[in-house]
A and B are shown apart, each in its own frame.
Chain A
Amino acid sequence: MTIPFSLYAPRESGLHKLHPLTKLALAGFVALCALVLPRAASYLLFLLLIVPLALWGRVFGRLMSAALRVALPFAISLLIIQGLFWQTGPILARVGPISIKLDGILFAVSTIGRILAILSSFVLLSLTTRPDALMLALSQRGLPDVIAYIILTTLQIIPRFQSKAQTIIDAQRSRGLETEGGLLHRIRALLPLVVPLVLSSIVDIEERAIALEARAFSHPGTKTSLFDLSDSLPERIFRWSLLAIALIIVVVRILTLRSA
Chain B
Amino acid sequence: MERTSPTARGFRGFNTLTWVMIPVAIAINIAIGQLVYALKIPLYLDSVGTVLVGALAGPWAGALTGLLANLVWGLSGLNVSYAPFAAVAAVIGLLAGLFSESGWFRKIWKVLVAGLITGLVAAAISAPISAYVFGGVTGGGQDALVGIYRGIGLGILPAAFAQGVSSDPLDKMVTYLLVWLIIRALPLRFLMRFANGELVRGDEANEGTSAGSTVTPGS
Measured CB to CB, the nearest residue on chain A to B148 is A85
Q: Which of A149-181 contact B (CB under 8 A)?
A: 149-151, 153-155, 157-158, 160-162, 164-165, 169, 179
Interface contact B19-A150, CB-CB below 8 Å: yes
Interface mask (A9-23 → B, CB under 8 Å = 1, otherwise 0): 000000000000000
In the assembled complex, how far is the CB of residue B18 from the closest CB belonging to chain A, in whole angstroms? Answer: 9
Interface contact B146-A77, CB-CB below 8 Å: yes
Decide if B108 is an interface residue (CB 8 Å cutoff).
no
Q: Which of B9-49 contact A (CB under 8 A)?
A: 9-11, 14-17, 19-24, 26-28, 30-32, 34-36, 38-42, 45, 48
Interface contact A77-B139, CB-CB below 8 Å: yes
Interface contact B81-A199, CB-CB below 8 Å: no
In the assembled complex, how far is the CB of residue A232 from the closest CB belonging to chain B, in whole angstroms? Answer: 14
Interface contact A70-B79, CB-CB below 8 Å: yes
B side interface size, CB within 8 A = 76
In the assembled complex, how far is the CB of residue B58 from the closest CB belonging to chain A, in whole angstroms? Answer: 15
A205: contacting residue among B20, B40, B83, B146, CB under 8 A: B20
A111 partner residues in chain B, CB cutoff 8 A: 134-135
In the assembled complex, how far is the CB of residue B178 from the closest CB belonging to chain A, in whole angstroms? Answer: 6
Given contacts A195-B181, A198-B182, contact A77 B31 (CB under 8 A): no
A side interface size, CB within 8 A = 86
A74 partner residues in chain B, CB cutoff 8 A: 81, 134-135, 137, 139
Given contacts A154-B68, A195-B181, contact A201 B19 (CB under 8 A): no
Interface mask (A103-124 → B, CB under 8 Å = 1, otherwise 0): 0000110011011001100110
Q: Pick from B70-78, B87-95, B117-125 the stretch touching chain A.
A: B70-78
Decide if B2 is an interface residue (CB 8 Å cutoff).
yes
A209: contacting residue among B9, B20, B32, CB under 8 A: B20
Interface contact B68-A80, CB-CB below 8 Å: no
Interface contact B77-A66, CB-CB below 8 Å: yes
Measured CB to CB, the nearest residue on chain A to B30 is A158
Decide if B210 is an interface residue (CB 8 Å cutoff).
no
Q: Pick from A50-58, A222-230, A233-241, A245-253 the stretch touching chain B.
A: A222-230
In the assembled complex, how far is the CB of residue B96 from the closest CB belonging to chain A, in whole angstroms? Answer: 15
Measured CB to CB, the nearest residue on chain B to A186 is B39
In whole angstroms, what is the CA distance A162 to B78 when docked?
12
In whole angstroms, what is the CA distance A252 to B4 when docked?
37
In the assembled complex, how far is the CB of residue B162 from the closest CB belonging to chain A, in whole angstroms? Answer: 13
Given contacts A122-B80, A212-B20, contact A85 B39 (CB under 8 A): no
Interface contact A66-B38, CB-CB below 8 Å: no
Decide if B219 is an interface residue (CB 8 Å cutoff).
yes
B71 partner residues in chain A, CB cutoff 8 A: 151
Measured CB to CB, the nearest residue on chain A to B67 is A147
In whole angstroms, what is the CA distance A233 to B16 when docked?
38
Q: Which of B139-174 contact A (CB under 8 A)?
A: 139-140, 143, 146-147, 150-151, 153, 156
Interface contact A131-B75, CB-CB below 8 Å: yes
Q: Which of B106-142 contact A (CB under 8 A)?
A: 132-140
In whole angstroms, what is the CA distance A171 to B174 when docked?
24
Interface contact A217-B137, CB-CB below 8 Å: no
In whole angstroms, what is the CA distance A160 to B1 when docked?
33
B31: contacting residue among A73, A126, A162, A220, CB under 8 A: A162
Decide if B213 is an interface residue (CB 8 Å cutoff).
no
Q: Which 5 A-B pairs have the closest CB atoms?
A: A85-B150, A111-B135, A73-B139, A7-B77, A77-B137
A-B residue pairs in contact (CB < 8 Å), sample of 8: A114-B135, A119-B81, A126-B77, A139-B4, A165-B31, A179-B38, A183-B42, A195-B182
Give chain A's interface residues, CB within 8 Å of chain B. Answer: 5-7, 35, 66-67, 70, 73-74, 76-78, 80-82, 84-87, 107-108, 111-112, 114-115, 118-119, 122-123, 126, 131, 136, 139-140, 142-147, 149-151, 153-155, 157-158, 160-162, 164-165, 169, 179, 183, 186-187, 189-191, 193-195, 197-199, 201-202, 205-206, 208-209, 212-213, 217-225, 228-229
Give chain B's interface residues, CB within 8 Å of chain A. Answer: 1-11, 14-17, 19-24, 26-28, 30-32, 34-36, 38-42, 45, 48, 52, 64, 68, 71-72, 74-81, 83-84, 132-140, 143, 146-147, 150-151, 153, 156, 178, 181-182, 185-186, 190, 193, 219
